[in-house]
Amino acid sequence: MLSLLTALVLTSPVNAQSGETMQAIEALVDEAMPTSSAPGLAYAVVERGTVQTSARGEMLLGSGRAVTADTPFQLGSISKSFTAMAVMQLVEAGEVSLDAGISTYLEEFNGQAGAAITVRELLSHTSGYSTLQGNQSHTDQTGGSDELAARVNRLAELVPAAQRGQRWWYSNANYLILGRLVEVVSGATFADYIESEILEPAGMNSSFVADGEVHETIATGHPPWFTGRRPVADRRTSRVMAPAGGVIASAADVARYLAIMTNGQDDLISAESKALMLQPANVASPFYGLGWFIDVENGDAYHTGLSPGVETIAALSLSEGRGVVVLVNASSGMGFGLTADLLSGIPAIALDDPYVSVGSQLSAKLFFVMLMSLPVFFVAGIVGAWLLRAGLRAKSGVSGHFSLWFPLLTTGTMSWAFLSLVPNLFSVPLNTLSLYQPDMVILLIASSVTGLALAVFRLGVFYLGRNEQIQA
């Protein structure tokens, strides 16, 4: 009945105001998509149950395979709202309590530091797990059906970085644990539960959950690649990350989901549970509910998503009954190929919110160009040090030795900053960052290696040359 109702809603006539909204969005896409260098895009707008969709471009760069409103994209962290809905279904069934400690349901937490963390704290990112703790790996290790259980076993052994309930700290760890909670309480795998209890009843027929396999029907991600783009090399979906980022859905299907979230009715979950999800969870989480960010100023709820080479956003107007989803099979580079105008501008128009373009990001572009230049500069320095070795070997005294050793200090500090500090600023290990910004990680490593090589080479030229002179 729910699927039939949703299908009927999708065929409702479009009013004049909705038509104007779509025209404004299309004008924005005309302007922003070329500068984003995104191969493809799909979006849908929901207004009081009426849904309109549009799509542009290709599923894979150069393939000629058109993106449509029914093309599945990996939703990234929008998936957290599905995991939260699954938990709320179990709460309504009396099988889970929001304020019970996680060790009540997952025995691996018994006696561990995180045993008392509540389900509500996991849902609202107030558990104490840090962003870095949740980003240690975004790929499957074995590909087996017990991948999620194994990851959560390791998470249970961690000491949370902060006391529970004291601060808001976005972490994928929270939703991996919740995904395992769904499995243990329901007796089904996470994928089977989401597909049978949410996707199928909602009429999301083009959607499914990551299973570790390659699916040709999915829009391929295109991460940044030295001011351009290239497709992701590994197109397998990640089973282990499914509760935090592995729901795969089309724009038309997400529109069905958003229509359900804004209809004020009891269906997949009660209207009361929907309202609870879409309001600040607690004092420590004033801008996040249960699986949704809350924009208090504009009266909206939203969630963004980032997968390798894919960026997404789903947003709701809590008072107007509006919703919008934008799916782009490209992710922003460092100043180049920015998708922000698409991902922020389309929702702003759809929900009648203020919006300012991100602009050209000239400073970010200059930084990236500088980063590309560093390895060339250091290699040129090595060549120059050899060609001018006579002058290098003539250095003497305090100032001479300072000029020889100081570059080792500066390039060593630079390498530490590039290989440790920068990943920590993103709250991800370098190997995880390479999935999302492969070109930048290559440049960070290349600059670090060539910079240290230059410093060491200069010292080698000096001391080996001096030894040869002494022996002569």
Alpha carbon of residue 373 to chain centroid: 28
Sort 392 into a burial class: Cβ within 10 Å, 0-12 / 13-18 / 19+. Answer: buried
pTM for this model (two decimals):
0.90
pLDDT tens sequence across 365-378: 999 999 999 999 99
Spatial contact of 6 and 46, defined as CB atoms under 8 Å apart: no
The residue whose two tokens read 């074995």 is 142
Alpha carbon of residue 208 to chain centroid: 19
Q: Angle between the 438-471 and 362-387 helix axes, to the nearest 10 degrees?
A: 20
Alpha carbon of residue 125 to chain centroid: 16
Tell me which of 136-145, 226-235, 294-303, 360-369 is least confident: 136-145
pLDDT above 70: percentage of residues in the chain: 93
pLDDT score recorded for residue 458: 95
C-alpha distances in angstroms, 211 versus 68, 189, 247, 360? Answer: 23, 11, 10, 38
pLDDT average, residue stretch 36-41: 96
pLDDT score recorded for residue 445: 97
pLDDT score recorded for residue 297: 87
Does residue 7 register a pLDDT over 80?
Answer: no
pLDDT tens sequence across 81-115: 999 999 999 999 999 999 999 999 999 999 999 99
Strands (DSSP E) along 361-468, which ranges?
none
Report the chain's mean pLDDT, rounded to a whole number.
91
pLDDT average, residue stretch 233-241: 89
Residue of 101, 103, 114, 107 whose CA lies nearest to 162: 114
Spatial contact of 38 and 9, defined as CB atoms under 8 Å apart: no
Spatial contact of 223 and 438, defined as CB atoms under 8 Å apart: yes
CA–CA separation, 350 and 371 (whole Å): 38
pLDDT score recorded for residue 129: 96
DSSP β-ladder status, 247-249 and 224-225 = unpaired
pLDDT tens sequence across 408-461: 999 999 999 999 998 888 888 898 899 999 999 999 999 999 999 999 999 999
CA–CA separation, 211 and 201 (whole Å): 20
Element (H, E) at 183: helix 172-186
Does residue 380 register a pLDDT over 80?
Answer: yes
CA–CA separation, 220 and 458 (whole Å): 46
Those residues with Cβ within 8 angstroms of residue 287's Cβ, 6 or more apart along the chain or in another chain:
168, 280, 293, 294, 295, 296
Those residues with Cβ within 8 angstroms of residue 231's Cβ, 6 or more apart along the chain or in another chain:
60, 61, 220, 221, 222, 309
Model confidence at 164, in pLDDT bands (50, 70, 90)?
Answer: very high
CA–CA separation, 2 and 31 (whole Å): 38
pLDDT tens sequence across 272-287: 999 999 999 999 999 9
Model confidence at 9, in pLDDT bands (50, 70, 90)?
Answer: very low
pLDDT above 90: percentage of residues in the chain: 77
CA–CA separation, 368 and 336 (whole Å): 9
Identify which has the larger pLDDT, 424 or 53.
Answer: 53
